[in-house]
Amino acid sequence: MPADDTPLMPKATAVWLVDNTSLSFEQIAAFCRLHPLEVGAIADGDAAQGIKGADPIQTGQLTRSEIEKAEADKDYRLKLSKPKTIVPELKRKAPRYTPVSKRQDRPNAILWLLRQHPELKESAIIRLVGTTKTTIHAIRDRTHWNSANLQPLDPVTLGLSSQMDLDREVEAAARESGITQPQMAPADQPDALMSVEESLQPAEDEPMGRGNERYDPDAVFKGLKAWTKGQPKEEDEDED
């Protein structure tokens, strides 16, 4: 029997099978993943004292017909019943992978996030650039081994994070912190990228697009009326 087929509470299940069935010690040991001598000690009262038996039928691990089948054939081995509902295994999200060529820029990106978005939690910074809490603390406390040479650089510009991920984390942190106005990029950071919403909004002093302009067709084709098919365009008279 595979290790995944081990019943819940094997010793408590063995206690119940010893007290309520005529199964052999070998059959109980094979089902509960125990040694036959340990099952014999349970039957003699030398082991598992004080353990209350657990009914495998009530927990859905065995059926009455399966037990009766094993009692009739001492060479038969009990099979664990399949669960009626399968609970999916929770997959733990792996930390963000950073290419080796860009790992040297990660401290600069962390410094930029700490200065420009102090409302971000450490977990958000870890998700954005794939770092550790120890590194964040070292850069914040100026105890990083390369603190003297660090320069704050936008992680989006460095290619360590996408603009959408950064905006999502900043918006979530702003809601938790009660910040309603988004922080503007400082003047000393000309390479900082605007958010997606800011880039899509037209500027106030920006003129209307050409698609909204209206043209006078008579004015546009005024100079073409004098042309006829097959005649060259008359050259303008030379200025005096």
Q: pLDDT for 121-138, tens place per residue?
A: 999 999 999 889 999 999
Per-residue pLDDT band for 240 (boundaries 50, 70, 90) equals very low
pLDDT of residue 109: 93
Instruction: Say yes or no to pLDDT of 68 above 80.
Output: yes
pLDDT of residue 137: 94
Residues 74-107 pLDDT 10s: 899 988 887 776 667 666 666 667 777 788 899 9
With beta carbons less than 8 A apart as the criterion, state whether 34 and 6 touch.
no
User: How far apart, in Å, are the Cα atoms of 235 and each of 15, 227, 238?
Assistant: 113, 12, 9
Instruction: Say yes or no to pLDDT of 225 above 90.
Output: no
Closest of 139, 150, 147, 156 to residue 191, by C-alpha: 156
Q: Kindly give, in sequence order, each residue whose CB lies less than 8 Å from that of residue 168, ignoring residues fewer than 6 positions away.
A: none
Instruction: Say yes or no to pLDDT of 155 above 70.
Output: yes
The alpha carbon torsion through 127, 128, 130, 133 (nearest 10 deg) reads: -70
- Lowest mean pLDDT of 25-39, 58-72, 81-95, name the range: 81-95
Per-residue pLDDT band for 177 (boundaries 50, 70, 90) equals confident
Residues 186-197 pLDDT 10s: 555 555 556 556
Instruction: Say yes or no to pLDDT of 219 above 70.
Output: no
With beta carbons less than 8 A apart as the criterion, state whether 17 and 32 touch.
yes
pLDDT of residue 193: 55
**Long-range pairs for 178-183: beta carbons < 8 A, 24 or more residues apart:** 179/119, 183/116, 183/117
Residues 5-14 pLDDT 10s: 788 888 999 9
More confident residue, 87 or 145: 145
